[in-house]
Amino acid sequence: MSKFCFLMALFISSIAWSQTEFFNSKINFSENELNGFYSSISVDSTRIYFNANDYTVYAYDKKSGELNWSYYLSYKTNNPPIPYRNSLFVGKHSSQYHDECVQLNSQTGDTIQTLTIQSIDTKPVFRDNIMYCTAIDAGFGGAVMAYDLKKNSVIWEKFIAHGVSKQPYYLQDKIIANAEDDNWFELDYNGKLLDTTCKNKVDIFVEDIKCVRNFKYLIHNQKEVHGNYFDEDEKVKLKYTKDKTIVLGENKMLVINNRNKTEKEIKLDEVLSLPEDQLGIYIEIFKAEENTVWFFYRNNLVNYDFKNDKLLRKVDLSSWNPHQIILENRTIWLISKNDGKLYGLDFEPDKKTADTIEAKARMEREINNPKPADPKKIEAAKAAQEKMKNKAN
């Protein structure tokens, strides 16, 4: 390849995966606030909510970038604020020995009510005005529960101790919750235990739950995974398609099929060709489709075709060193660990840039086609390339 073609290819690559920064929260944090780095984000249809390192939650309009309201929590966390209808659930530190959960009006930031629980520890589900979640209830401890938002009271709860930090499986007719370690149990949406006559009872810290299933996690068809595929199972991320489960962990990604077999193991460092010094603890799966997946790994946003073993897109975000990310179509919302700020990025080129990229790529293919080619087409491509070069000058 000629020097000019090499530089052109480099130019194409740099444009294709470049990002345009369209939003910056412009909040400056003290060194002390950033040393204890806890921060999180969530979105609804109109706003992005930023639980920042200065113990405040900020609500920004996603289109205009304007600050709609802010609310001082005296509390910061990596657990995102929880949008529900026209409200937002956030944690608040009220005294030295007491935290509380408040429901805010998502449009104004005004307090709707203070819940009787101290925190919501995993992503909840809502059925009408009942919230099913794991939470800390003062005087009771970590629990899986049903909470009536109209009456502002707990309907039922089951003590699960440290299982409160593990995301339950909310199925159509039952909940599968964690009772510490790899012990899981089933209950219906009325709080009734579904298995009370098991042959092999267990003796665990959660004393009133004797019948458990022992597994690491469930795949898309509710089959159990028992093997130790990763060194740190706590950090593993899962996403389901109709007939596959995508499992993302450190160094690799697994595709598990209906038979609970690993259909494919993808060694990420090899596929992505990442330098050894490009580190990053945060991982996430954003979207899984029939044959492709969007995920974040070692500071790169990646779109990968696991059926054809093809890297479709890689967006390097190491300049921002993301702490958390939300992907919405062509928009990336992220919290930067460099300065704690919230950023909005557009990672797709506009139509004019995209057309230029495609035209140059087409010329590149014509000039460097290893197959026998039409000499007239090659000369025409060279002439067009020279013309573009002269225009640039």
Q: Report if residue 230 sits inside a domain.
A: yes
Q: Are 323 and 335 in contact (CB under 8 A)?
A: yes
pLDDT tens by residue, the chain, 393 residues: 443 343 333 333 433 456 789 999 999 999 999 999 999 999 999 999 999 999 999 999 999 999 999 999 999 999 999 999 999 999 999 887 889 999 999 999 999 999 999 999 999 999 999 999 999 999 899 999 999 999 999 999 999 999 999 999 999 999 999 998 899 999 999 999 998 888 777 777 777 888 999 999 999 999 999 888 887 666 899 999 999 999 999 889 999 999 999 999 999 988 988 877 667 789 999 999 999 999 999 999 999 999 999 999 999 999 999 999 999 988 999 999 999 999 999 987 556 655 665 666 667 666 666 555 567 766 777 777 776 666 555
Helical segments of 60-164, H only: none
Q: Are 168 and 158 in contact (CB under 8 A)?
A: no
Q: Report if residue 337 sits inside a domain.
A: no
Q: What are the tens digits of pLDDT across the range 210-260? A: 899 999 999 999 999 988 888 766 689 999 999 999 999 988 999 999 999
Q: Report if residue 306 sits inside a domain.
A: yes
Q: Report if residue 125 sits inside a domain.
A: no
Strand partners, 24: 343
Tokens (6 digits) for 226: 């028992």
Cross-sheet strand order for the sheet of 292-297: 284-288, 292-297, 300-305, 310-316
Q: Report if residue 311 sits inside a domain.
A: yes
Q: Are 316 and 17 in contact (CB under 8 A)?
A: yes
pTM: predicted TM-score of the whole model, two decimal places = 0.83
For the chain, how many structural domains are there in total? 1
Q: Report if residue 52 sits inside a domain.
A: no
Strand partners, 28: none
CATH number for the domain harbouring residue 259: 2.40.10.480
Residue 142: Cβ within 10 Å count: 22
Q: Report if residue 267 sits inside a domain.
A: yes
Q: What are the tens digits of pLDDT across the range 4-40? A: 343 333 333 433 456 789 999 999 999 999 999 999 9
Q: Report if residue 122 sits inside a domain.
A: no
Domain residues for 272? 221-316
